[in-house]
Structures are given as structure tokens and as C-alpha cells.
Amino acid sequence: MQYKETKNTYWKNRSIGWKKETTNAKPNQDPFIRRLIECANIRQRMNVLDVASGAGDPAITIAKNYTRGNVTACDLTYDMLGIAMERAKRLYIENLTFTVGNMSALPFPNNTFDAFTCRNGLMFSDTKVKSAEEALRVLKPGGKAAWLVWGNIESNPTFVAVRRGLESHFDEVFPYRMIRHNLSEPGQLKKILNESGFSSFEEIELKWERQITPYDDYFQRAVARTIPDKLRFLSQSDIKIILQNIKNECEEYLRGDIYVIPISMRLGIGTAGDR
């Protein structure tokens, strides 16, 4: 119970920043999300479960692209799902439903879904194998599950730059959330999928260079996610200074007036066998 209460409180507070971060309702065109959907082998008329949906990615993208199927977005807190609900309403999506639930004890019957996705959620589970077992339980035989997790922090310099930029402004330490990277070592996802009982499984490293133009709000959104509790107390002048601090930290990635920021993630894919 303590685990659930702690996680609920944390993500409820974070939802403030995610609401500010989610600046539009459009489906996400992130190449990592596209690869996640592709590896889950999602097709029209499928019943799809997305866990740790948060602000709605990739559930909204799946529902929008596969309108003849059904998608369920599941998250630990209603506050996070509320953001996804608002986005779905603005997009007139009718094939998306929302359920509050814990990934380690999913509130669905066995053999319910044709495909399963989870973006940036498994790292936060204290019972990762159990979470994968739950995904397998609710999948139909032959269904695929795909998990997207962060690579190591060294390969994702935005996290470092944002912390340093904030520390320069507030003159206090902003600890790195290393839990975000606790599945970054090669082989960890495969081990979890093997132990949880998937009949076949694989793990892939994904890399992308994100190009940030002067008109891109990438850094603003990163700040909103990182300090949701402080955001409402900051003036526009404060935010401008923080953003410049972060850009200074990213100077080595500046090409002309565009920042080319490397991003690294890992993808685990499992197939449910006959049961």
C-alpha cells in the first residue's frame, strides 16, 4: 500500500508539469513511439492496451491511426489520465477508453488484448518481472508486448543540461532521477521478458538526434516536467534565464542556430505463446 500511495502522490504532482508540457493534442510523431507501435505489431481491429499512458502517448497515436480498433489507456493516477482525456476529446477520438490501474496488478481478465505497449513506465516499477507477467497474462496467445525505456544518462545529455541549468538559477542541487535509467544496461529487458514467461523476446537499442530549432519548445517542456512544483512561482524573466542556462550547457550540440541533441532508448519486445 505504501508503494502505491507514494507513486500516486508523485505522479499526481507531476501531472501539473505534464499538463503544461503537453502543448497540443496532436498524436506524437516521435520516431521512438513509431517504432514501439511497429514492434507491437498493431493492426486495425485490434484490442490494444497501453500501460503507464500518462499524458496519452502512445495511446492517442494508436487510437488515431487505428480507428477500427479499440485502445485502453491505463495509468496509476487519474490526474495523469485526465490530461490524456482532454487531448482525446480535442481530437474527437471515440475508440479510446481510460482505466486507472497498477501495471503489477492489471484490472483486466486473462487473454483480453491483441497487443500491449508501455512507454517509459517499466523503469518505475518495483516489481518489473511481475509487471511483465501481467502484460503476458492479459495478452492473447500470439500477441506482442513492447516496452520502451530510457538508455543511460550519458547518452541522453538533455537530462544533465536541464539539471545544471536549474542549479545555476536556484543555487541548489537537483538530484538526477537515476531510476529513469535503471533498465539502460543491455540485456536487462531480455532477462525480464525471459523470466516472465514470454515465448520469444528481443531487445533493441534505439538512437535519434533530435533537432531543436529556435521556435521549438523542447527545453521549455523539459523544465515543466522537471520542476512542476516551482513552475507557478517563476516569472517569464526567470524562465528565460533558466532556458538560456540550459542552452549554454548544450552548446557543444549547437549547429548554426539548431541544437542537435542525441537521445538513446531501449526497446523490449515479447511474444505471448500458447497457454
**How far is the C-alpha of 181 from the C-alpha of 87, rounded, in Å?**
28
Is the pLDDT at 48 greater than 60? The verdict is yes
Domain presence at residue 244: no
* 131, 3 contact by CB (below 8 A): no
Q: Is residue 80 part of a domain?
A: yes
Q: How confident is the model over 111-158, as pLDDT tens digits?
A: 999 999 999 999 999 999 999 999 999 999 999 999 999 999 999 999
CA-closest candidate to residue 30, choices 67, 60, 71, 72: 60
Strands (E), the chain: 47-51, 70-75, 96-100, 113-119, 139-150, 200-212, 254-255, 258-271
Q: How confident is the model at residue 8, as a pLDDT?
A: 56
CATH (domain of 31): 3.40.50.150
Using an 8 Å Cβ cutoff, are 259 and 212 in contact? yes
Give residue-wise pLDDT tens across range 151-164: 999 999 999 999 99
> In which domain, by residue range, is 184 found?
2-152+177-209+264-271
Burial class (CB in 10 A: 0-12, 13-18, 19+), 224: buried
CA 65 to chain centre: 19
Structural domain contains residue 248: no
Measuring CA to CA, which residue among 72, 18, 69 is closest to residue 50?
Answer: 72
Is residue 160 in a domain? no
Q: Does residue 171 fall inside a structural domain?
A: no
Helix (H, G, I), strand (E, B) or coil at 228: helix
5 pLDDT more than 60: no
pLDDT single digits (tens) 68-99:
999 999 999 999 899 999 999 999 999 999 99
Residue 224 within a domain: no
Report whether 99 contacts 112 (CB < 8 A). no
- φ, ψ dihedrals at 126, nearest 5°: -80, -15
Residue 50 located in a structural domain:
yes
Confidence of residue 11 (pLDDT cuts 50, 70, 90): very low
Is residue 228 situated within a structural domain?
no
* Residue 202, strand partner residues: 269
187-196 pLDDT, tens digit each: 999 999 999 9
The mean of the pLDDT values for the chain is: 91
The three grid cell numbers given for residue 136, joined into one nine-digit string: 503476458
What is the rounded distance in angstroms from the CA atom of residue 245 to the CA atom of residue 228? 18
Structurally, how many domains does the chain consist of? 1
Q: How far apart are CA 94 and CA 71, in angstroms?
A: 10
